[in-house]
Amino acid sequence: METTRKWQVITIVTMVLITMVLSIVTEGCFKRSQNDSGSSAPSEVKTLTFTAQPPVVPTCAGISMTAVTVEVKDQYDKVMSDTAVTITTTDNSVVISGTRVITTSASGTATFNDLIITKTDTYTLKAYVGVISQNSNPFTITAASLDNYLVTPATLNLGVGVTSTGTATARDTYGNTITVASARLLTPSITDGTGSPIVTFASSATALDSVTTYNTWVDGVLTFYYSATPNGATFTITVTAESKTGKSAVITIN
């Protein structure tokens, strides 16, 4: 009888101890899964906000934009640190150089301070973490300083004595067209000639005059007119304006 009671006591004590241990372990796991809001669900990215937008003033191509910042918050409206934020544009064909993936700081902010775009246009940045994204306000990239001229003949096979046209496009080092003052003088000349070409530049497609300079620019593009002889000769056209140059492909007279 005494032995039976002893085993009953041991059994009861054991069950109490097991219950206490399970309670402690369960409570500890619950506490470890809690976030600052008191909920047991783990934090996940809910919203992204551009707290510093792209600049209102246009940025020159090839120049770092002023810093933009993105704040990350979870579903409890708490900022999230150590979260990787990626930035691009809504036009994914545009190349952005610089650091495009930044980890948020203790304040939940990712700062992008070296982003560079070299193609002129109006863009919108897109920040994202996984499937959560946010677009910025639009901003503009303008051309850099003048670097060269793109010389484009209307034809590379020119009829003998036939007046043709060519264009000179003012460009920056990235190939963007630059709007230039209409007073800028452009001087065409003949280079790399074979077969003794004789080329005459005219003021219009129907003019019989001979000119040495042009200055009628329209949105960064100037049109010039010329004719050439003799048959079989070849040449290229080089243009010069404000110490910058450009050169056409080879033109054949036939």
64: phi then psi, degrees, rounded to nearest 5: -60, 135
Q: Assess whether 111 and 161 both reside in one domain.
A: no
Q: Assess whether 126 and 213 both reside in one domain.
A: no
Q: Assess whether 66 and 117 both reside in one domain.
A: yes
Number of domains forming the structure of the chain: 2
**Buried b or exposed e, range 54-68, using 16+ CB within 10 angstroms:** beeeebebbeebeeb
Of the candidates 126, 142, 158, which is a domain's last residue?
142
Q: How far apart are CA 183 and CA 188, in angstroms?
A: 16
What burial class does residue 172 get, using C-beta atoms within 10 Å of its C-beta: 0-12 exposed, 13-18 middle, 19+ buried? buried
Q: Assess whether 133 and 193 both reside in one domain.
A: no
Q: How far apart are CA 239 and CA 221, in angstroms?
A: 13
For residue 83, the domain's CATH number is 2.60.40.10
Q: How far apart are CA 62 and CA 75, in angstroms?
A: 38
* Domain membership flag for residue 152: yes
What pLDDT tens digit does each residue of the chain (254 aa) get? Answer: 555 565 554 566 566 555 554 554 444 443 333 455 555 578 899 999 999 999 999 999 999 999 999 999 999 999 999 999 999 999 888 999 999 999 999 999 999 999 999 999 999 999 999 999 999 999 999 999 999 999 999 999 999 999 999 999 999 999 999 988 777 899 999 999 999 999 999 999 999 899 999 999 999 999 999 999 999 999 999 999 989 999 999 999 99
* Domain membership flag for residue 38: no
* Domain membership flag for residue 3: no
Q: Assess whether 103 and 168 both reside in one domain.
A: no
What does pTM read for this prediction?
0.78
DSSP string over 89-136 = ESSTTS--BS--EEE--TTSEEEE---B--S-EEEEEEEEETTEEEEE
Cβ atoms of 78 and 37 closer than 8 Å: yes
Of the candidates 106, 126, 142, which is a domain's last residue?
142
| Domain encompassing residue 194 | 148-253
Q: Assess whether 56 and 135 both reside in one domain.
A: yes
Between vectors from CA 184 to CA 179 and to CA 190, what angle results, nearest 5°?
Answer: 105
